[in-house]
Amino acid sequence: MTSRPTDIRRRLIEPIKPCLVWFRIDLRLQDNPAVHAALARGGAVVPVYVADDAAEGRWAPGGASRWWLHQSLRALDGSLRERGSRLIVARGDAGAVLAALLKQTGADAIYWNRRYEPALVTRDAGLERAWVAAGFDAKSFNGALLNEPDTIANKQGRPFQVFSPYWRHCLTLPVAEPVQIPAGKMPVPSAWPNSLALDALELLPRIPWDAEFFGAWTPGEAGAVERLRRFTGRAMAAYSDQRNIPGVHGTSMLSPHLHFGEVSPRQILAEVRAVSGDSRVVPPSTGAAVFLSEVGWREFAHHLLVHFNHTPEKPLRADFARFPWRSDPTGGLLGAWQQGRTGYPIVDAGMRQLWRTGWMHNRVRMVAASFLVKHLRLPWNAGAAWFWDTLVDADLASNTLGWQWTAGCGADAAPYFRVFAPVLQGQRFDPAGDYVRQWVPELARLPAAHLHAPWEAPPAVLEAAGVRLGETYPRPIVDHATARAEALAAFASIRGGGVSER
């Protein structure tokens, strides 16, 4: 049946209805597929953020993440206002809030970028089915990863569980160029729906433990782009040599920007290739290639989370469910670790950096995490929960992968019997003690030869440095050799094996 001319004319002159863009942790405008698709429709765009902690359950943003989220939402709203638009902020059940906004604005479309946390995958799928059934143009996009996790499989058609072959496979796949939205004003609705003030979400701390965050970070899309360009222009060439040295600025520190979607992995890939002088490949031995492999680890973490969605709560390797973790009834051991009072300077420096800036150098993260699960033999879940609350880059996929890797109970994991010796790690990666002196100032006057094992320093050296063990700085809460032997015995109780030291 053909349309009558009057029907065709009506469709041509009727305005295109608005489209809601549901922002989540994709807090940028450039290379944002949902924003790009909404603008391509030609109608008004209504940007929306809904705080729905209940849907995220236990994995609602922790304290440090909430601080970052507040700053990033404020930056996004500022970017939208520069284009004549604004961010609508709401709180409550996302499905109900968005249904009300669809009705209030007269929108007939809603676009968003996908998330991969198990609870949200289930929730979002249900919302999409309901919206489509109700006649809305409801579409989701990949705005967070180079490759969708469910499109990657090994030769047997199963998920990868080892990183190296996973990443080699990913490097053979095409990646689309970042999409750019044009400069100028964004089309806006004739009337804006009601919005909460950002402060109403109560994301900021009530006591000022975040004082040093402001000097360390610039959340938002502009801050992310600036940090990326600064890294690729200054530190990337030496990344493979300097990334393990916590006392220098040798890493990108892009992880929180990536988590909150202020920069996309496609933008990172394009920038790295442009700086490297080759738009298609990066030589495998360069700092650029090593850096891109870290982006690959983030991709791998999401691959694992999607295919093994029980891992935020339970070990991937089932035999570790029987592991004999130590009892810590008063929480004294865990508390000492959390506060950076273990008596091992490299561990304490990392934990204090974490508390004061919301971030910890990756090499030190491995050492500190290993100390919790190997030296103190406390459950990896306890460490994951603390990192979740204190890291500005707390990401469920990466946090789970990192802790299960350290504990030896995940995919491609470090063997449990491989123990990071904190003194050796400090001496190797912080030989002059620059990192420890910055974050553990009570040891700053110790000579480098004794800085990473102050309990071995002669009394005269300690006195000259103003260090009184057990008073100004704690003695080690566990003996390394004893803890190592106990870790070996615990591991042998479930699987058997030997122990090595790094």
Radius of gyration for the alpha carbons in the chain, expressed in angstroms and rounded: 25
- Given the residues 68, 337, 403, 405, select the one marked as catalytic: 403
Tokens of 129: 């089915």
112 has catalytic annotation: no
Strand partners, 49: 23, 89
pLDDT band at 117 (very low <50, low <70, confident <90, very high): very high
- Which pairs from 439-444 meet CB under 8 Å and 24+ separation? 439/340, 439/348, 439/349, 439/350, 439/352, 439/353, 439/356, 440/340, 440/345, 440/348, 440/349, 440/352, 440/473, 442/466, 442/467, 442/472, 442/473, 443/345, 443/467, 443/473
Q: Does domain 145-177+220-307 have CATH number 1.40.20.10?
A: no
Residue 498 in this model has a pLDDT that exceeds 90: no
Residue of higher predicted confidence among 7 and 288:
288
318-501: which CATH topology?
DNA Cyclobutane Dipyrimidine Photolyase, subunit A; domain 3 (1.10.579)
- Given the residues 128, 142, 209, 297, select the one marked as catalytic: 297
How large a percentage of the chain has pLDDT more than 90?
90
**HSE (CB half, 13 Å, CA atoms) of 238?**
9
Residue 11 in this model has a pLDDT that exceeds 70: no
Q: What pLDDT score was predicted for residue 414?
A: 66
The CA distance from 75 to 176, in Å, is 27
Domain 14-143 maps to which CATH number in 3.40.190.10, 3.90.180.10, 3.40.50.620, 3.10.20.90? 3.40.50.620
Contact (CB, 8 A) for 491 and 315? no
Task: Determine phi and psi for 239, rounding to 5 degrees.
Answer: -60, -45
Strand partners, 46: 20
pLDDT band at 13 (very low <50, low <70, confident <90, very high): low
What stretch of H or E contains 289? helix 287-307
pLDDT digits (tens, 9 = 90+) for 311-335: 999 999 998 999 999 999 999 999 9
DSSP state letters, 193-240: PP---GGGG--S-SS-TTTTHHHH---SHHHHHHHHHHIIIIIGGGHH
Could you tell me whether strands 500-501 and 109-113 are parallel, antiparallel, or unpaired per DSSP bridges? Answer: unpaired
The CA distance from 377 to 461, in Å, is 32
The CA distance from 84 to 403, in Å, is 44
Tokens of 352: 């204090």
The CA distance from 253 to 236, in Å, is 12
The CA distance from 21 to 387, in Å, is 31
The CA distance from 129 to 45, in Å, is 22
Residue 134 in this model has a pLDDT that exceeds 50: yes
Q: What pLDDT score was predicted for residue 500?
A: 43
- Give the 3-state secondary structure of 320-374: HHHCCCCCCCCCHHHHHHHHCCCCCHHHHHHHHHHHHHCCCCHHHHHHHHHHHHH
- Given the residues 112, 217, 359, 380, select the one marked as catalytic: 380
Q: Which amino acid does the sequence have at 74?
A: R
Q: Do domains 145-177+220-307 and 318-501 have the same CATH topology?
A: no
Task: Determine phi and psi for 501, rounding to 5 degrees.
Answer: -130, 140
22 has catalytic annotation: no
What stretch of H or E contains 209? none
Tokens of 404: 């299960």
pLDDT digits (tens, 9 = 90+) for 432-481: 999 999 999 999 999 999 999 999 999 999 999 999 999 999 999 999 99
380 has catalytic annotation: yes
294 has catalytic annotation: yes
pLDDT digits (tens, 9 = 90+) for 208-231: 999 999 999 999 999 999 999 999
pLDDT band at 413 (very low <50, low <70, confident <90, very high): low
154 has catalytic annotation: no
pLDDT band at 3 (very low <50, low <70, confident <90, very high): very low
- Given the residues 142, 325, 442, 455, select the one marked as catalytic: 325
> Where are the chain's structural domains?
14-143, 145-177+220-307, 318-501
Cα-based angle 153, 155, 160 (whole degrees, multiple of 5): 40
The CA distance from 96 to 49, in Å, is 13
Q: What pLDDT score was predicted for residue 9?
A: 46
What 8-state DSSP symbol labels residue 261?
T
Nearest one of 85, 18, 86, 97 to 50, comparing CA atoms: 97
pTM: 0.94
Strand partners, 469: 473
pLDDT band at 277 (very low <50, low <70, confident <90, very high): confident
The CA distance from 284 to 164, in Å, is 13
Q: What pLDDT score was predicted for residue 7?
A: 43
128 has catalytic annotation: no
pLDDT band at 276 (very low <50, low <70, confident <90, very high): confident
What integer is the mean pLDDT of 239-251?
A: 95
Nearest one of 287, 344, 320, 350 to 413, comparing CA atoms: 320
Contact (CB, 8 A) for 439 and 497? no
- Given the residues 56, 128, 294, 442, select the one marked as catalytic: 294
Tokens of 479: 């003996």
What integer is the mean pLDDT of 21-26?
A: 98
The whole-chain average pLDDT of the chain stands at 93
Tokens of 99: 């249904």
pLDDT band at 284 (very low <50, low <70, confident <90, very high): confident
Contact (CB, 8 A) for 320 and 415? no
pLDDT band at 2 (very low <50, low <70, confident <90, very high): very low
The CA distance from 50 to 437, in Å, is 43
Tokens of 199: 């402060």
